[in-house]
Amino acid sequence: MSRLVVVGGGVAGIAAALRGIDAGCAVTLVEARSRLGGAAGSFRRGDLTVDTGQHVILRCYSTYRRLLARLGVADAVPVQERLGFPVLHPARRPVWLRRSSVPWLPAPAHLLPVVLGHRLLAPAARLRVLGTALALRALDPEDPRLDGCSFGAWLRHRGESDRSIEALWGLLTLAALNAQVDDASLALAVRVFRTGLLDGVDGGDIGVPTRPLGQLHHDAAHRALRRGGANVRLRAKVSGLHRVGDRWRVETPDEVVDADGVVVAVPHAQAARLLHDLPVPACAQWARLGSSPIVNVHVVYDRPVTELPFAAVVGSPVQWVFDRTAVAGARAGRQYLAVSLSAADRYLQARTGELRHVFLPALAALFPRAAGARVEDFFVTREPCATFRQAPGTRRLRPPPATGLPGLALAGAWAGTGWPDTLEGAARSGEAAADHLIQHTLHRSSNPVEAT
């Protein structure tokens, strides 16, 4: 039986390990932290179970959703039947953006109500958005030239105004690419808008977890891995990786694990450090992928202040806001809101007190009941390296699963999947890396069994 070691227990590592189990390998997963899930986990704060950051998925996240089903928790991330969300403005009436309910309307006509009903835009701007959407749909995300362009420059060249960018294009780009439009790769924007919104009718329907991420990516993943016979090593940071004959030696401070194949599924900075003595092509270039932060501002009120489960916001420092009351287990009568701030460089270093002065009034301007409510808890979570910086020119820096070294493959949402740095990109990369090893290295010594 071949031995596969997976380094890193985020979604990419979990997906790789399960793939190895399905191929009949003896799998060891080695994770530095005390829990699985990586960037998508949870922690306790008093009565609350707090996610490291609010996550949402889309119906088009097919690999990640299959992974959830494999973990037995598909029901924990229900996807809405029809894309729809409110856009709030502190001084204007909310606008509901919903795709068409007419079942026979083909894509992208299903988005007509979203664009034509967007009252925060002037009628002429809505028509222009339609033309831009059609032009975007005609672009190929695999065209390498697109990655050299910024999405913002392309939108402005099309005549999109600052207002359209703020109230529509930018709102979606922040959520999907953790970047402002001017800092986003056109190729990645095309991937997101085409796959999520323009190519099919239902790809952009939104799924919001109804359970803490730790229950999905740690509890359920740990159970599934153990059930499949994997050896899960937590609090085990891999410090060295060496080729010895035709096998690999994976070192942690406490043990050495030998393997026929290794999937390295850690963030790009850690991967570059781990592999820098090995002849892995372009490994020194990965640092240029950089990082982009996400900050979440968490507020617990002593009473409900809104009925909305989540909303996008324009004309305010709030970008997206989510009701976390039930998922976090907040005490009866309270309401727990999380404000998710993408591309949050300007907030990363700000003190909690400063953010309180910005966000409590901003929330009160959106939800008048918040003005009269008592704030029982206010805290901030900061993820400085939430994603790589999904900027123009990053495509060629993202490596494929194959490293050129037999038995060593790369995974991680930063790797070259063509997808943005998301749960879907992570799941795809993990499966692709394991598949590469199974096909090229592990099949020689393993006795593959059919995936269940």
Ligand X SMILES: Cc1cc2nc3c(=O)[nH]c(=O)nc-3n(C[C@H](O)[C@H](O)[C@H](O)COP(=O)(O)OP(=O)(O)OC[C@H]3O[C@@H](n4cnc5c(N)ncnc54)[C@H](O)[C@@H]3O)c2cc1C
Residue type for 342, please? Answer: S
Q: Which of 400, 436, 431 is nearest to 64 (CA)?
A: 431
Q: What is the smallest separation between the CB atom of 217 and ligand X, expressed in angstroms?
A: 8
CA gyration radius for the chain? 22
Q: What is the smallest separation between the CB atom of 156 and ligand X, expressed in angstroms?
A: 27
Q: With respect to ligand X, which residue has the nearer C-beta, 67 or 314?
A: 67
Q: Which two tokens stand for residue 132?
A: 């831009």
Q: x/- string (CB under 6 A) for ligand X, residues 256-275?
A: ---------xxx--x---x-
Q: What is the smallest separation between the CB atom of 229 and ligand X, expressed in angstroms?
A: 20
- Residue from 238, 327, 343, 432 in contact with ligand X (CB under 6 A): 238
Q: Which of 3, 13, 446, 437 is nearest to 265 (CA)?
A: 13
Q: With respect to ligand X, which residue has the nearer C-beta, 128 or 324?
A: 324
Mutual orientation of helices 423-440 and 11-22 as an angle, nearest 10°?
30
Between CA 309 and CA 329 the distance in angstroms is 15
Q: What is the smallest separation between the CB atom of 175 and ligand X, expressed in angstroms?
A: 7
Q: Do the beta carbons of residue 37 and residue 212 sit within 8 Å?
A: no
Residues from 324 through 383 that contact ligand X (CB under 6 A): 383
Name 27's Cβ contacts closer than 8 Å, sequence gap at least 6: 3, 4, 5, 6, 17, 20, 21, 225, 228, 229, 230, 231
Q: x/- string (CB under 6 A) for ligand X, residues 197-236?
A: ----------------------------------------
- Residue from 2, 6, 13, 261 in contact with ligand X (CB under 6 A): 13
Q: x/- string (CB under 6 A) for ligand X, residues 26-65?
A: ----xxxx----xxx-----------xx-xxx--------
The residue count for binding ligand X (CB under 6 A) is 38
The beta strand positions in 167-212, using DSSP E, are 206-207
Q: Which of 10, 73, 78 is nearest to 40 (CA)?
A: 10
Neighbour count for residue 163 (Cβ, 10 Å) = 13
Neighbour count for residue 165 (Cβ, 10 Å) = 19
Between CA 341 and CA 298 the distance in angstroms is 11
Q: With respect to ligand X, which residue has the nearer C-beta, 296 or 446?
A: 296
Question: Where does this chain touch ligand X (CB under 6 A) — which range of 105-113, 330-338, 370-378, 421-429?
Answer: 421-429
Q: With respect to ligand X, which residue has the nearer C-beta, 24 or 53?
A: 53
Residues from 373 through 412 that contact ligand X (CB under 6 A): 383, 386-387, 412
- Residue from 413, 437, 438, 442 in contact with ligand X (CB under 6 A): 413
Long-range contacts (CB closer than 8 Å, 24 or more residues apart) made by 91-94: 91/315, 92/119, 92/120, 92/315, 93/119, 94/311
Q: With respect to ligand X, which residue has the nearer C-beta, 115 or 172?
A: 172
Question: Where does this chain touch ligand X (CB under 6 A) — which range of 5-13, 87-95, 362-370, 397-405?
Answer: 5-13
Site residues, ligand X (CB under 6 A): 7-13, 30-33, 38-40, 52-53, 55-57, 237-238, 265-267, 270, 274, 294, 383, 386-387, 412-413, 421-426
